[in-house]
Every structure is written in C-alpha cells, then in structure tokens.
Chains A and B, each alone.
Chain A
Amino acid sequence: MTTSERVPTGEPGVASQTPWHEGRLGAAATGVVAVALALGIAELLSALGRWVGVLGASSSPIVALGQTFIQFTPEWLKELAIRTFGEHDKDALTAGMLLTVLIVAIGIGLIHRTRPRVAFVVTLGLLVVAGAAVLTRPGADALDLIPLAVGGLVGVAFLIAVARSRLRPATPTAADDSAKPTDRRRFLSLLAGGALVAAAAGGLARLIPSAAQVAESRLRVTLPTAADQQRLDVDGTVLPVAGLTPFVTANADFYRVDTAYAVPALTTDTWQLRIHGAVDREITLTFDDLLAMPAVERMITLTCVSNEVGGKLAGNARWQGVRLADLLEMAGPQGGSDCVLSTSADGFTVTTPLAALTDGRDALLAYAMNGEPLPVEHGFPVRMVVPGLYGYVSATKWVVDLEITRFADVTAYWTQRGWSPQAPIKTASRIDVPAGFARLTPGTVAVAGMAWAQHRGIRGVQVQIDDGPWQDATLSGELTTDIWRQWSFPWAATDPGIHTIRCRAVDADGMVQTDQVQGVMPDGSTGLDSRQVTVTA
C-alpha cells in the first residue's frame, strides 16, 4: 500500500498536476484528526463552561462516554481490570475506551476515503450516541450538549473539507472516491491544520482549572502547626441551653456572602500574592512561601455588614495564617499611605484601613479554618481575616493582590455602590430562643442568644420583658475581645398572654447598644432584637 501512485495523464507535453491519492494511511489520519478535532474542541468548550459555572461535568464528552462505558462494562471485564491494574483500573478502562474511539476514528477515515456520505452518516450516528451518553448522566441538561454539538460540527466540517479536496477525475469513472485524485497540498495542509487545532484545543482545555483539580489541590495541603496557638477553654465556657447557636461555627454552617458567580478555581501551585504599591519592596508570595512563615492560630468571629437585626450572618471559627502586620513590615509601607486595596481572583476589591492591619490586632492572611484548609467557597487557598471590621472592608477571599495606597485614590467594590469606606463592627445582640411567635407553657423559660462587639469586647447583656426593667443575663466566658459571647436569662413566664422580649448588649467600654433603628446601609444595622411570644393559660 503506497500513498503515492503515479497515473499517466495522457497528453505528452502538457503540464498537469500529478494525480495523487491519499491512500489508506492518509484516510486513517483523516479520521483520527476529525475525531481529535471534535473531541478537542468539545473538551475545551466544556472546560470553559465548567470554569464559569454554566455547564456541568457531563458536558465533557470524554467524561460522559467514559462513565457510560464503565456503566456498561460487564462485571467480568471490570474484575479483570481490577485484578490486572489494581488502583489504575479506571485508567485502564478509560484507555480501553480511548483505544476504541481511535479504532472507530480510523474506521471513519477509511470509509470516508471511498464513500464520504456513508462516513457522514456514521459520524452523525456516533455523535447521537455520544449525545445520549451526555444526556443520561445524572444532573445533565440540554446545555451540556453544546460542547459536543460544536465539536461535532467542526469534525464534520473537516471531513467535508477533505472530501472537497478531491478533484473530479479527468475521465469519468464509475469507481468510488478512492479513485479520485486528491489535491495533495490542500489535503496535507488540512490534515496538519486540523491536527494542530485539535492539539491546541486539547492542551488549552487541560490548562483550565477544574473543580476536581481545586479539590485535589486542597486535599494535598499539609497544614503546618502554628507556632503561636491560642489556649482557649471553649468547652468550659459554653452555656448549656437547648437551641442556642453553637459557640464555634462548623465550616459547613458558616455563613457565605460574596459576589462570586462561580467560585474562583485556584490551586495552591498557581496561587500567588503580590504585595505592591506605595512600598519600599515589592513582594510576591507563593503558597509554599506562606506556609513556611511563622503562623498564628486565632479564634475570630466574623459578621457581614448586611446582617439585619437578629440576623444569622455571623460566625465564629479558628483561623490559622500569617500576621498581615509581618508581611506589611517586610514590604515597608511608605508614609502617606493609609489603605490596603486587596483584590480577589475574580476581580472583587476591598479597601481596608492600613492602621487596622498594623495596630497589633490579629489581622491574618489565613489559609486554614477550623483546622482544615479553607473550604473552596470560603476563600481557598488564601483569604484575609481582620477582627473588628465587617467582611466587606476586610475579609477578602481568594485574595491574590494587596496594593498599599490611599483611600483618597481608590474605591472598592461595595464602596462604589454607596457603602461606607470605613466600617468597624457595631455592637449587636440577638435572641436565639424562644422562637418568634412561640406558644409557651407557663413556667421558667430559657431566653438565650448571642452578642458581639469585635475588638472591643462584650461586658454584659440585658433582657427586658414588656415594659419591665432591664435585667442582667448570664454570659459565657470572656475569651477574647474578638469572639462573640453567648448569653442566657431564665424568665419566670407566669403571666398568660402576649409578651415581648428584648435584649441589648453593653460593650467593654461601657457603651450600651443603641435602640435607634437603622437599616444595613451604609455601615451596618442597629436596633434592638425582640421576640413576641404567647404564654398560654
């Protein structure tokens, strides 16, 4: 089998193109490139779609086909794979699937050489099978077919282009396409071009970080032990009241507020933090650099500025990280700067007073939350945590850039939308039990809740029933000024009827929480939380 056959053209003395036929090897290459093109482009589109969050995992034809393949693999074959390949059984089955795809591709190429129309039909049939594989994946929807559809279109277009590169024979023949000479230059450039595009698409698809890569990166993190750990007796201090908010908020329950349409997909090998601006030295940190630095672990309560009175946008966790003060000292902020503009991987910005990061409080560049690497939706791999400031002016998640500058020169995301550039946390308290509109049997009712005034501390909490006097509640231990406190009050609820319970906190400076009602904008809500309940007869 040769790829080049010389056929006499007839008239001597007349220059004519030597007829050339791509032969079976060329045909096989055509099929492989067509399928590679279709798959490469489909995978690229799928990776892009998954990255921005509009497509699911089933939009990847290779994933969908692989999962379907595994689903239909007979048990004996699966067991053979496990016995032979051990851990790599799934890889072996995938390789088997890809080999099948390669054989099919060669087949399409060979059919295309003689009967291009039949090849189209076979290709369309295979696209339908692949489409069915995509659609039958759990959670798949019509959108997930787009990558396969576009890739399939490109693959078919390629086949058509190759078919077009065949010339009409000089003499009419009844033979199939394999007798038609091919425009050699066009055929080879099509093949080369197609292979190049397929390789580029496949390569690019690989570069786009997927949720699986991020999850894997997170699992591979080994947390160093913080040199400076707090010694806190949390268990000895918690109040034993049913229905009270847990003192430490589990990662899965921690409130989440951000503007991320799709959670930024950062891995530890690609993450970098650049510290620049009005500094003597620009610094660039990698994740390994950060973990090698002396770290502290601190329990800090965070809260969102848009937390309404009585709301649940507050949480308390142990954070481990490097003190921002240390990092800033390394960079050397220049006189006149008063602000740090931090940027998230998705472009979200935050302005924080430089003073709050350097005044000795536990402002951290954190990489761990409650003893694990940051969950992806809470800022993996690195975020800022600053006690005493609302999140929108301090708690940049997925942080990748710190610029030392002046408030006069920059505005951050929420500040641009009318929120206050400076936002220290206001004193707050809320009632957890009893529930609103609860119907209570007469007797002693446990009234309890939470109070916080980060970085000032809570001195006391008081409770009022109807128009009665303000009475002191019992508090959980005072651990640090950056952590909230639980409170409880036993109410002798003997009087049947409707009653209103109110609470208020007093901070460590002696300032009583204001009863003025203010909405969340521009710098946090105020007002006293209250519950109407009914004591039954």
Chain B
Amino acid sequence: MLIKRALSLVAAAGLAVTLAACGSSATPAASSASSAASSAASSMMPSSSMAAPSSSMAPSSSSMSSGDAMGASLVGPGCADYAKQVPTGAGSVDGMAQDPVATAASNNPLLTTLVAAVSGKVNPQVDLVNTLNSGDFTVFAPVDSAFAKIDAGTMDTLKTNSTLLSGILTYHVVAGQLDPGQVVGTHPTVNGASLTVTGSGDTLKVNDASVICGGVKTKNATVYLIDSVLMPPAS
C-alpha cells in the first residue's frame, strides 16, 4: 500500500520535473532564439525615464541606447545643483533625453538666453532651431549667467548682425555626439573653426570656459552646460 503511494508520489514528482523543464522555453535550442528575442526586446525597451511623471507627457519613441537611460556619466561640479534646481519635468536630465536638443533646451530654465538666441528672438534672421534638431551634435550650451557677462553693446550688435551671431552660435556646435569619455581634445565646430576641450574627470574646460554639467543627453545631441560664451577666433 505504502509502496504504491510512494511510487505515485515519485511519478508525480517526475511529472513535475518534466513540466518544469517544458515550462522553460522548451529546450536550450529554442532558448537561444528566446535569448536573442529577449535581448532584442530589451534593447527596444523605452528608457527608464518613461516611468518618470515628467516624460510620460508625450508619446515618445523607445530609446535605442537604453544604456544611457540610467542617469549615465554626467560630469561637472554643477550637476547636483542642476538636479536640485530642475528635479523633474521636461527640463530635467531625464526630461531632456526625450526631446531634440533645441526643444529640450527650451524647457531648461538655465538656458533661456541661448534659446532666444537660436530661435530668432534675439535676431529674427538667425533661427537655428530646426537645424539643431536635425542631426547628431555635441552642443556646448552657455547658461544664462554666461550671457550676462557679455556687455550690453555687444548684445545690441548681435540683434542686427546675423553673421556675427550665427558665427558665435555655430562655434558652440560640433558634429557628432561626444560623451564625456570622448570630449577631451580639439574638435572642428560647424562654424569651421575648432575648439579645444581640456581637463579630466569633473573638471573640464572648453577653451577658457568651464563645464558646469556635461554629458546631458537629448534625443539627437549631447549637451555640456558651460559658464561662458565661446568666442570664435578672429579670422
């Protein structure tokens, strides 16, 4: 009697083992398809900021580079302050990742003057918004206090001298996205002239300007907030 019971229990256990085996993706052969599919699926996953209230405001495409979703390598002494000042919303680190660079900058309270300058509000002839949104770039973005350092006379000239303003603005843009590990060095800007990034770790300088917080991702560009406006070399 007991033998029968024990045998039926062993049979049940054997069934369980078999079911469990089938419960996985069948065989290891099939599982390589499954692991390929799941790794393909995970690279298609939306960036983690999908979950944040800030960026669930707009339908946005899955980030192909899901690696940088995790508040990746930001550099600079001012990142903590920036995060404190803009913790959530479209202008935060996570929020900026969802938008193309000019749109992202327009949501960042630290960049209001720059945004006005690139969108035709300083000089109606100079509207770079669509151009900035259109390709992969690295943008060195002077914050509002950087523009405050420019004297009023020069700012007035920029309102009418579109070649000068355009030349200055394009001197802050480099083709291609450079993350903090790649940004040190000399790079040609879309202006034609080159700039040089020096330093290491959290202390980076772009020509004579200091990086406040850099490596901020937007949909098409990597942004470095800097504390001074860069002047192209006189040609």
Query: Taking beta carbons and an 8 Å cutoff, which residues of A are in contact with B?
Result: 3-4, 25-26, 28-29, 32-33, 35-37, 39-40, 43-44, 46-47, 50, 53, 56-58, 60, 62-63, 66-67, 69-70, 90-91, 94, 98, 101-102, 105, 137-139, 188, 191-192, 194-196, 198-199, 201-206, 208, 210-216, 255-263, 304-306, 308-311, 313, 376-377, 391-392, 414, 417-418, 431, 435-437, 439, 497-498, 500, 519-521, 527, 529-532, 534
Closest partner residue, chain B, to A529 (CB atom): B130
Distance (whole angstroms) from the CB of B163 to the closest CB of chain A: 7
Across the two chains, which residue of chain B brings its CB closest to A196? B12
Residue in B31, B44, B62 with the greatest tally of chain A CB atoms within 10 Å: B31
Are A310 and B134 CB-contacts (below 8 A) given A33-B9, A215-B33, A255-B61? yes
Least Cβ–Cβ distance between B4 and chain A, in angstroms: 10
Per the bound structure, the CA–CA distance linking A90 and B21 in Å amounts to 14
State in angstroms the CA–CA spacing of A391 and B50 once bound together: 18
Q: A56-B39, A210-B34 are in contact. Are A202 and B16 (CB under 8 A)?
A: yes
Choice from B23, B26, B103 contacting A308 with Cβ under 8 Å:
B103
**Of listed B15, B17, B23, B32, residue having the most chain A CB within 10 A:** B23
Instruction: List B contacts of A91 (CB < 8 A).
Output: 27, 29
Complex contacts, A32 vs chain B, CB 8 Å? 10, 13-14, 17
With beta carbons under 8 angstroms apart, the residue of B20, B34, B170, B175 that contacts A205 is B20
Within 8 A of A (CB), among B46-67: 46, 50-51, 56-62
Q: Are B14 and A102 in contact (CB under 8 A)?
A: yes
Known: A3-B3, A94-B27. 16 other contacts (CB 8 A): A26-B6, A29-B9, A29-B10, A29-B13, A40-B20, A43-B24, A53-B38, A69-B28, A202-B20, A203-B19, A259-B56, A263-B41, A414-B59, A417-B57, A521-B58, A532-B166
For B19, list chain A residues within 8 Å (CB): 40, 199, 202-203, 205-206
B12 touches A58 (CB 8 A): no
Let me know if B133 is at the binding interface, CB within 8 A: yes
Kindly list chain B residues whose C-beta atoms are within 8 Å of the C-beta of A25.
3, 6-7, 10
User: For A66, what are the chain B residues with a Cβ–Cβ distance below 8 Å?
Assistant: 27-28, 31
Tell me the nearest residue of chain A to B35, going by C-beta: A57
Q: How far is the CB of B169 from chain A (nearest CB, A)?
A: 10
- Complex contacts, A204 vs chain B, CB 8 Å: 23
| Chain B residues whose CB sits within 8 angstroms of the CB of A259 once the complex forms | 46, 50, 56, 59
Is there contact, CB below 8 Å, between B35 and A56? yes
In the assembled complex, the Cα of A206 lies from the Cα of B7 at a distance in Å of 25
Closest to A530 in B: B130
Asked whether any CB of chain A lies closer than 8 Å to the CB of B37, the reply is yes
CB distance from A216 to the nearest CB of B (A): 8
Task: Fill in one digit per residue for B75-109: 1 if any A CB lies within 8 Å of its CB, else 0.
Answer: 00000000000000000000000011001000000
Closest to A65 in B: B28
Nearest CB to that of A88 among chain B residues?
Answer: B27
What are 26 of the A-B contact pairs (CB < 8 Å)? A3-B3, A32-B17, A33-B9, A53-B42, A56-B38, A56-B39, A70-B28, A90-B29, A102-B14, A138-B35, A139-B39, A201-B16, A211-B38, A212-B30, A261-B46, A261-B51, A262-B41, A263-B41, A304-B61, A306-B58, A313-B61, A417-B57, A418-B57, A498-B163, A521-B58, A531-B131
Contact of B24 among A63, A139, A437 (CB under 8 A): A63
Q: Once the chains are docked, how many angstroms separate the CA of A60 from the CA of B37?
A: 15
Bound Cα distance A521, B103 (Å): 12
CB distance from A269 to the nearest CB of B (A): 16
B71 within 8 A of A: no
Q: In the bound complex, do residue A139 and residue B100 qualify as a contact, i.e. CB atoms below 8 Å apart?
A: no
Asked if B144 is at the interface (CB within 8 A of a chain A CB), the reply is: no
Q: Judging by beta carbons under 8 Å apart, are B56 and A63 in contact? A: no
A531 touches B134 (CB 8 A): yes
A204 to B22, CA, bound (A): 11
| Alpha-carbon distance between A267 and B34 when the two chains are bound, in angstroms | 14
Determine the chain A residues whose CB is within 8 A of the CB of B13 once the complex forms: 29, 32-33, 36, 194-195, 198
Q: Are A44 and B23 in contact (CB under 8 A)?
A: yes
**B128 on the interface (CB 8 Å rule)?**
yes
In Å, the complex CA distance between A105 and B131 comes to 66
List residues of chain B with CB within 8 A of the CB of A46.
24
**Does B232 sit at the interface, judged by CB under 8 A?**
no
Whether B6 lies near A29 (C-beta < 8 A) is yes
What's the Cα separation between A259 and B25 when bound, in Å? 26
A28 and B10 within 8 A (CB): yes
Question: Is B173 part of the contact surface with A, judged by Cβ < 8 Å?
Answer: yes
B149 at the interface (CB under 8 A from A): no
Report if B70 contacts A (CB, 8 A).
Answer: no
A262 — which chain B residues lie within 8 A by C-beta?
Answer: 41, 45
**Inter-subunit contact B35/A198 (CB<8 Å):** no
Which residues of A are found within 8 Å of B61, using beta-carbon distances?
A: 255-257, 304, 313
CB pair B44 A308 closer than 8 Å: no
Contact of B111 with A by CB under 8 A: no
| Cβ contacts under 8 Å, B39 to chain A | 56, 139
Docked-complex contact A62 and B56, CB < 8 angstroms: no
CA distance A33 to B6 in the complex (A): 11
Whether the pair A62, B24 counts as a contact (CB closer than 8 A) is yes
Of the residues A137, A139, A201, A431, contact of B20 by C-beta under 8 Å? A201
With A257-B60, A308-B133, A417-B56 as given contacts, are A47 and B24 in contact (CB-CB < 8 Å)? yes
Contacts of A67 in B (CB 8 A): 28, 31-32
Are A435 and B134 in contact (CB-based, < 8 A)?
Answer: yes
Which of A3, A212, A255 touches B26 (beta carbons < 8 Å)? A212
8 Å CB contact of A62 from B20, B35, B100, B162: B20
B94 to chain A, nearest CB (A): 16
Interchain CB contact under 8 A, A36 and B131:
no
B16 touches A36 (CB 8 A): yes
A53 touches B166 (CB 8 A): no
Q: Complex: how many Å from CA A199 to CA B59?
A: 43
C-alpha spacing A4/B6, complex, angstroms: 12
Please indicate which of the listed interface residues A40, A62, A91, A208 has the most CB atoms of chain B within 10 Å of its own CB: A62
| A325–chain B nearest beta-carbon distance, Å | 26
Q: Which residues of B contact A216 (CB under 8 A)?
A: 30, 33
Query: Which residues of the partner chain B approach A40 to less than 8 Å between Cβ atoms?
Result: 16-17, 19-20, 23
Question: In the complex, A67→B170 CA distance in Å?
Answer: 54
Which residues of chain B from 116 to 135 have any CB-CB distance to chain A below 8 Å in the complex? 127-128, 130-135
Chain B nearest CB, measured from A74 CB (Å): 17
Nearest-neighbor residue (CB-CB) of B60 within chain A: A306
Question: Chain B contacts of A139 at CB under 8 A?
Answer: 35, 39
Is A36's CB under 8 angstroms from B17's CB? Answer: yes
Measured CB to CB, the closest approach of chain B to A379, in angstroms, equals: 13
Select A311's contact among B6, B27, B50, B133, beta carbons within 8 Å.
B133
Q: Is B234 an interface residue (CB 8 A)?
A: no
- Shortest A69–chain B CB gap in Å is 8
Known: A63-B31, A309-B130. A195 touches B24 (CB 8 A): no
